[in-house]
Structures are given as C-alpha cells and as structure tokens.
C-alpha cells in the first residue's frame, strides 16, 4: 500500500489541494494531511469550508516572521513528521515557502515527491518573489510533476525533465470552484456576504481589488493605490478591496484609500465570499495567481498588477491584462474594460475542466498498484 502524505500551509494551497483530498476519499485511497499553517486564520477558513481535518498541524505562523525563520521552523518541525510517518510519497503544491522547504526535507530523506501545479515559470527570480525560485527548486527534486497546462509541460521538457514524469492534469482550482458552487447552493450564502451587500450600491458597477505580492510592496503598491483613487472618481463604479493581513499592505492602502467615496476597504474575506465578489464584479484588479486562474470560470477580465506572469495562458486567451504597477497602464486598461467589456462567450477556462483531481488521483492509484505488485 502506498503511504501518501499531503502537505500545505497557505490558503491558496489548501483550496487547490482540497479537491485531491476529496477525490482520495471518494476512491478510498489512504492518506494523511499535514499543514504548516504558514497562514493561520486564512488557512483555517478554507479547512473548515472544505471539511478537511489535518492529521498534523505544525502551527508555525508568527507575526512578522521572516522567510528565513519560517523556513528554519519548517525544516525542524516537518522533519519530525517524516520521522513518524515515513511516507512513500509526499504531495506538495505550487510555489510557497512551505512547499519548497518540505520538499527539501523529504528529498534529504529520499522520499519521493509529487508536485501539483508544476512547471509554471517566469524565469525572473525576482518576480514573483520568492515563489519563482521556490517552484524551480521543487521542479529540480520532484519525482512526479502534475502540470496544469501545455505551457507548463513544455517548460519542464525544456529543463530536461523526463516526459514520463510529467502528467498533464489541468488546474485543480477549477475543481475547487465547482465543489464550492455545489456546497454554497446547498447551504446558502454565508452571513459575511450579506454583510458586504449592505455596504454596496446595487446601481453601481463593482470592481474587485486584491494585492499581496512582496515585489509590489512600497512604491509599486503606492502607485496602484493612486490608480484606484483616480478610478474611484467615476461615480458609476465602486471598488471593494479585501486587504491582505500583512501590515506592509494595510498601512500603504489605508494611507491613500481609507474613507474615500466609492472605495470599500474590508477585512480578508472567506473563500465563498471571494467567489461571490468575483462573480458580481465587472472586472478584477489583482496580483494573485489564483485569481488569474479563477476569473475565467466566471468570464471576468483581470488587470494583473505584475510585469510578468507565470500564467500567460490567461493573457493569450484575452482574460488577463499585464500592467505592472503603472498607474497609467492600470487606468488605461480599466477604462477600456468599463467602456467596452470584452466578450468571453464560448471561451473556455484555459486552466482546466474541473477534472484535475481525478487525473492526479488516478495516477496515484496506479502508483499504489505498482508498489503492491512489486
């Protein structure tokens, strides 16, 4: 029997790993879950919504901790988990510090690694920081690469990753959206959404804003905020900005946008509330990788406040528009979309069809069969 351990630490990882966990349950494949809690509150919301109970919770989040102190804590604490569990295969996701560090810990113990959402690249080590290098490190040591797109597959092939180690699956974020939609329809909208509705004007067009990238801290985020302030002068629209908990985000955003007409600065929202806001918006301004993947499912354009993206499929399909943090470029794209919204009728989400988890778990099941026959 294959001993499988799934590990993640942030909200985006949890969202994208949740469908794999549910598919393992559906197919009666044994597994355990370890969370580092690199994010705490935001992670817990997703664990609760997706009904995931970790077997190990390292609870490593500390206010203001550096990447290096977090990395050291992961190395120490996760090694103890591996000593206890001794899994045959570790499944990690994406490009976080959690994913990079636990992969290296597992590599040192010669444990095989499966990398979900593998192969995304900008080949710019500073953007996204530190995620680009995290993902490349995992790509060097992983044994199985579950790639969401052909572009990701081609990136790995160009890096001499053997073809037989690459499995094209689509992105499990689409699976998560479908699962969430079914649950929300069953249980109804959370109270949080009703609270948000009370501050919105239904006669105005809604624009959703998010921002958290480290490379945009400081001057970049300041210029984004200046663009948002000017955009808010249009009395036909209103902006909703769920602010990331990082003080480097909140202090900059509040300095420019607090108590301004047509701008609602709110606390981070739960996953179902974020999906509701995406669905209600006319477009989104964000530096989030996940939102670039999710928005096409709702037919929503995204102004991406980054100079480069490892998710160029959305740009190529016309869903995403790269502007960097330039106030001029952001306003140009925003006004263009407001004046002439793009038509996405008939266009499919370039990131997946909702069956990524099925493909990943089917491959894991084949590994389990192989190991039992040896």
The per-residue pLDDT for range 165-176, each reduced to its tens digit, is 999 999 999 999
> Which pLDDT does position 373 carry in this prediction?
63
Q: Which of 194, 212, 244, 264 is catalytic?
A: 212
Query: Distance between the two ends of the chain, CA-based, in angstroms?
Result: 11
Cβ atoms within 10 A of the Cβ of 214, count?
17
Q: What is the DSSP letter of 197?
A: H
pLDDT at 62 over 90: no
pLDDT bracket for residue 372 (50, 70, 90): low
Q: Domain 4-170+355-373 maps to which CATH number in 3.30.70.141, 3.30.70.120, 3.40.1190.20, 3.40.50.2000?
A: 3.40.50.2000
90 touches 99 (CB < 8 A): no
- Tokens of residue 140, six digits: 């060097």
Cα–Cα distance between 89 and 6 in angstroms, integer?
9
Find the mean pLDDT for residues 200-224: 91
Res. 322: pLDDT tops 90: yes
Specify the DSSP element, H or E, that contains 144: strand 144-147
Token look-up 């959690």 returns 98
Q: What values do phi and psi take at 260, rounded to 5?
A: -100, 145
Helix 219-231 × helix 327-339 angle, to 10° = 30
Residue in this structure with the two tokens 């921002």, named with its chain if needed = 211
Give the model's pLDDT for residue 206: 97
Using the CB atoms, write b or e for 238-275: b if 16+ within 10 Å.
Answer: bbbbbbbeeeebeebbeebbeeeebbbbeebbbbbbbb
pLDDT at 99: 97
CA 129, distance to chain mean position in Å, is: 14
Q: In what order do the strands lie in the sheet with 166-168?
A: 56-57, 32-35, 4-8, 89-93, 112-116, 144-147, 166-168
Task: Look at residue 224 in the predicted model and tell me its pLDDT.
Answer: 96
62 vs 137 pLDDT, higher one: 137
- Alpha helices by DSSP H, the chain: 11-26, 41-49, 67-85, 97-108, 131-141, 150-158, 172-187, 191-198, 219-231, 247-257, 271-280, 289-294, 312-316, 327-339, 356-373
Relative orientation angle of helices 219-231 and 247-257, to the nearest 10 degrees: 40
**Alpha carbon 239 to its chain's center:** 22
Domain spans, the chain: 4-170+355-373, 192-339
The three-state secondary structure class of 217 is coil
Q: How confident is the model at residue 233 (pLDDT cuts 50, 70, 90)?
A: very high
Q: Tell me if residue 93 is catalytic.
A: no
| Same fold across 4-170+355-373 and 192-339 | yes
Supply the CATH classification number for the domain 192-339. 3.40.50.2000
User: pTM for the whole thing?
Assistant: 0.94
């Amino acid at each position: 029997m294959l001993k499988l351990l799934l590990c993640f630490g942030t909200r985006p990882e949890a969202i994208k790993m949740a469908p794999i966990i549910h598919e393992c349950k559906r197919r009666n494949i044994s597994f355990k879950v370890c969370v580092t809690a690199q994010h705490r509150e935001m992670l817990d919301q997703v664990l609760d919504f997706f009904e995931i109970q970790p077997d190990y919770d390292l609870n490593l989040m500390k206010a203001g901790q550096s990447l290096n102190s977090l990395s050291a804590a992961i190395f120490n604490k996760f090694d103890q988990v591996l000593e206890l569990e001794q899994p045959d295969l570790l499944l990690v996701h994406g490009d976080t510090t959690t994913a990079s560090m636990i992969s290296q810990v597992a590599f040192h113990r010669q444990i095989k690694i499966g990398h979900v959402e593998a192969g995304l690249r900008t080949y710019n080590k500073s953007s996204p920081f530190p995620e680009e290098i995290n993902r490349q490190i995992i790509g060097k040591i992983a044994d199985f690469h579950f790639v969401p797109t052909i572009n990701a597959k081609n990136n790995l092939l160009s890096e001499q990753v053997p073809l037989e180690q690459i499995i094209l699956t689509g992105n499990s974020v689409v699976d998560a959206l479908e699962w969430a939609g079914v649950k929300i329809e069953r249980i109804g909208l959370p109270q949080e959404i009703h609270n948000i509705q009370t501050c919105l004007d239904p006669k105005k067009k809604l624009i959703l804003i998010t921002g958290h990238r480290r490379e945009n801290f400081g001057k970049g985020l300041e210029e984004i905020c200046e663009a948002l302030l000017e955009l808010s002068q249009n009395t036909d629209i209103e902006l909703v900005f769920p602010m990331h908990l990082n003080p480097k985000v909140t202090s900059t955003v509040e300095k420019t946008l607090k108590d301004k007409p047509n701008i609602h600065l709110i606390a981070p929202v739960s996953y179902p509330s974020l999906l509701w806001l995406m669905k209600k918006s006319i477009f989104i301004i964000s530096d989030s990788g996940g939102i670039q993947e999710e928005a096409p499912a709702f037919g929503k354009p995204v102004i991406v406040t980054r100079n480069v993206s490892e998710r160029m499929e959305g740009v190529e399909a016309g869903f995403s528009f790269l502007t960097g943090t330039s106030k001029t470029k952001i306003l140009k794209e925003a006004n263009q979309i407001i004046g002439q919204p793009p038509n996405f009728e008939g266009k499919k989400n370039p990131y997946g069809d909702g069956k990524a988890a099925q493909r990943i778990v089917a491959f894991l099941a084949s590994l389990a069969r192989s190991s039992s026959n040896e």
